Structure 1
Amino acid sequence: MKVQIITDSSADLPSNFIERYNIQVVPLAIQFGSDTYLDQVEISNHLFYQKLHENDQLPKTSRPSPLAFKEAFLKGVEKGPVLCITLSSGLSGTYESALLAKKMLNQEIEVIDSLNASIGTGLQVIKACQMAEEGLTLKEIRQEIISYRNNMKTYFTLDTLENIIKGGRLSSWEGAIGQVLNIKPVLYNQADGTIGTLEKVRGRKKSLRRLLELVEATGKDFSECTIGITHARAQEEVSELVEELNNNLRPKEIIVSELGPVIGTHTGFGTILLAL
């Protein structure tokens, strides 16, 4: 029986991949004031960014319950062994919820901590689906995904400091100085699945150029490499990045998606993330 792939809504998978591989997506929750929405079930990216623009306070995000994962796992095991890939444990308790759900069931289920976020998790999910289509076993897919995960590089830049100030990750004083100096942080995914600051660049164009330089500096064989890009309402700039990547590095494939509510809450409008 074919391995069934499950993930959570933070993976920011394009809908065509979800449909093509019949991926089960367990939603996180987004709370604006007293109103709570299940990500991609009760709130779309469009509505989320509309509300984010209209509200002075940041929404809150919360992980799926173990019971939500249990329900997804029970559906999955009807068709085959289950592999679940979640948002980084360094950013959320989602992985813990999935592990608790696994312990509730005596079934062939594996849970992988992506140690990544957004399309960084999404690329792992897509690769797992491709291997499942090829008929690899649960054990084989798990081993390959862990190896792939451990060799991934993820870089992103913010266009605004507003959300990390509101979220308490940056003081209002530091944020004010950063905004005056037009500082655009370049961040990266650390080995433990947390986020680190790589550089602080002055100006948007320089920060986007730096992303391209970092991708090239990985030294990967781009003819065999898939690059994932996700963004928060920055389609025009992403189109330019895609053109440059295709012209200069010629990757095997570039997958573009929109940054959803889970990560978009903390990073804000204009965020662009590249994973490979």
Structure 2
Amino acid sequence: MKMKIVADSSANLLALPDIDFGIVPLHVIVGENDYVDDDKINLTAMQEDLSSYKGKTSTSSPSPHEWENAFGDADVVFCITITSTLSGTYNSAVIAKDIYEQNHAGRKVYVLDSLSTGPEIALFIEKIAELIKAGFAPDDIYKTLLEYKDKTHLYFSLASLNNFAKNGRISPVIAAGIGLLGVRVVGKASEEGTLLPLDKCRGEKRALKKLINHLKECGYTDGKIIIAHNNNEAGALELKKLIENTFGIFNGKIQKTRALCSYYAEPGSLLIGFEA
């Protein structure tokens, strides 16, 4: 039985070792420019364009056809999408699932709305890969994934909200107050899949301390952690150090955001997915 994991590009991954894995790119639209979030994208050019462009910007979901192509010829597909509150990607994947299963009798696609993005999705993907390699049956993998999902979290520290404003999600007046004098928004992905602001912090050091406090509140001890950063490796390393000093271990990795996450988590921002 051939099993495959397919995710959209908000997972910040391009490949997985020793597992059949596919990525379906989202798009970032800046004026007339369409940036496809794949391995060919020029992230520097995209972010410079976003910074200088004064008009409305947006993101675009993959089509059902793109999802169906990514499923390939797998007998079983585990499909993970960005939260449906930020994108129509989940709905597109569900349509692709129905078409794929109708056209290929006996094949099965499991679609999971992550209610999150970035490093928390990466944790889901790693868990599925682990279960596939361990020889679990498809239904058991999906059941275990749903149970695992209740034990993971996504928190963030955003250095700017300009793209949220250009996307029409918040008032430009509110966005203008963030980033000035080093103010950062610390928050989390809610149980409903929305991005929920929790704290406004003056300076990155205070924001990192807030993130550590939130890990404690979630009951974190030594679970897996993935820190994703947008041009803020120093901040990611400082957070790693704080985690080591607070919990005695850093059981994880640091990665860079790709285009979709870089759109919402602008330069200087951090995303942290973890098990608790």
Query: What is the TM-score normalised by the length of structure 1?
Result: 0.88
Aligned position for 1:150? 150
Q: Would the aligned equivalents of 1:2 and 1:132 in 2 still touch at CA under 8 Å?
A: no
Structure 1: runs of 5 or more not aligned: none
Inter-partner Cα distance in structure 2 for 1:143 and 1:44: 38
Inter-partner Cα distance in structure 1 for 2:268 and 2:162: 11
Name the CA shift for 1:121/1:35 in 2 (closer, same or farther; >3 Å): same
Inter-partner Cα distance in structure 2 for 1:240 and 1:115: 27
Matching residue within 49, 72, 96 for 2:91: 96
Of 64-73 and 196-205, the range deviating more from structure 2: 196-205
Aligned position for 2:204? 204
Aligned position for 1:234? 232
Of 256-265 and 118-127, the range deviating more from structure 2: 256-265
Aligned position for 1:68? 66
Inter-partner Cα distance in structure 1 for 2:224 and 2:46: 28
Shift of 1:260: 1.8
Question: Per-residue displacement from partner, 1:183-231 (whole Å, max 9, x unpaired)?
Answer: 3211110101111111222222111111122113221341xx1111111
Q: Would the aligned equivalents of 1:4 and 1:76 in 2 still touch at CA under 8 Å?
A: no
Question: Per-residue displacement from partner, 1:45-101 (whole Å, max 9, x unpaired)?
Answer: 34433433443446421110000111112x141xx4111111111211111111101
1:153 partner amino acid: H
Name the CA shift for 1:76/1:62 in 2 (closer, same or farther; >3 Å): same
Aligned residues: 269
Inter-partner Cα distance in structure 2 for 1:58 and 1:271: 21
Inter-partner Cα distance in structure 1 for 2:39 and 2:177: 39
Structure 2: runs of 5 or more not aligned: 102-106
Q: Would the aligned equivalents of 2:160 and 2:178 in 1 still touch at CA under 8 Å?
A: no
2:109 partner amino acid: I
Inter-partner Cα distance in structure 2 for 1:235 and 1:275: 16
Task: Summarize the alignment of residues 1-276 of structure 1 with structure 2, pairs less than 5 Å apart.
Answer: 1-13=1-13, 15=14, 18-57=16-55, 59-73=57-71, 75-77=72-74, 80-106=75-101, 107-180=107-180, 182-222=182-222, 225-251=223-249, 253-276=251-274
Structure 1 vs Structure 2 CA RMSD: 2.1
Q: Tell me the secondary structure at the aligned position of residue 263 of structure 1.
A: helix
Inter-partner Cα distance in structure 2 for 1:210 and 1:123: 22
Name the CA shift for 1:140/1:186 in 2 (closer, same or farther; >3 Å): same
Inter-partner Cα distance in structure 2 for 1:241 and 1:3: 36
Shift of 1:105: 2.2
Inter-partner Cα distance in structure 1 for 2:126 and 2:140: 15
Inter-partner Cα distance in structure 2 for 1:24 and 1:33: 29
